[in-house]
């Protein structure tokens, strides 16, 4: 197994929540991962949850995280910087899931790219297709 910090997965979801399983243990749930979304008219506002999992983080280290959103023209339209410090009471290496609200203005149809980063360690891209849907006249 590699010691390298990795991003196991990255995605946008309609929402996230904490639910109880059959053993009544609280678990993190990703609800309705988004691959494409349609709006009746543009411009519109997209509200979602950015979710990504970090593997092999180590207690005592501080990790700088970022999420960037780019429109179909490649222009940066939203970004968020976060930091994560694994608890000292965890095992030598850990995995964690990071979730953050995303709100972006959608001006036009196309593929919007989201870049998830653990700075100096790992990066992963995610694409969301946004279209204009509605009643054709």
From first to last of its 137 residues, the chain has per-residue pLDDT tens of 567 899 998 999 988 888 888 888 888 888 888 999 999 999 999 999 999 999 888 888 889 999 999 999 999 999 999 998 887 765 666 778 888 999 999 999 999 999 999 988 999 999 999 999 854 54
Residue 1 lies in a domain: no
Domain range enclosing 97: 6-132
The CATH number covering residue 93 comes to: 2.60.40.2550
> Tokens 């979710």 label which residue?
51
Residue 137 lies in a domain: no
Q: Specify the number of domains making up the chain.
A: 1
Residues 6+ apart with CB under 8 A from 50: 10, 11, 12, 67, 80, 99, 100, 101, 102, 114, 116
Instruction: List 69's β-bridge partners, or say none.
Output: 78, 114
């Amino acid at each position: 197994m590699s010691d390298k910090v990795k991003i196991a997965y990255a995605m946008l979801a309609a929402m996230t929540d904490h639910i109880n399983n059959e053993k009544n243990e609280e678990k993190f749930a990703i609800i309705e991962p988004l691959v494409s979304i349609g709006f009746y008219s543009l411009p519109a506002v997209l509200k979602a949850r950015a979710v990504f999992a970090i593997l092999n983080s180590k207690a005592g280290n501080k990790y700088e995280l970022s999420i960037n959103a780019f429109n179909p023209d490649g222009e940066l339209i939203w970004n968020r910087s976060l930091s994560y410090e694994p608890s000292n009471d965890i095992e030598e290496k850990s995995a964690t899931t990071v979730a953050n609200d995303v709100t972006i203005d959608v001006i036009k149809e196309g593929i919007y790219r989201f870049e998830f980063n653990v700075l100096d360690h790992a990066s992963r891209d995610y694409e969301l297709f946004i279209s204009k849907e509605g009643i054709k006249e």
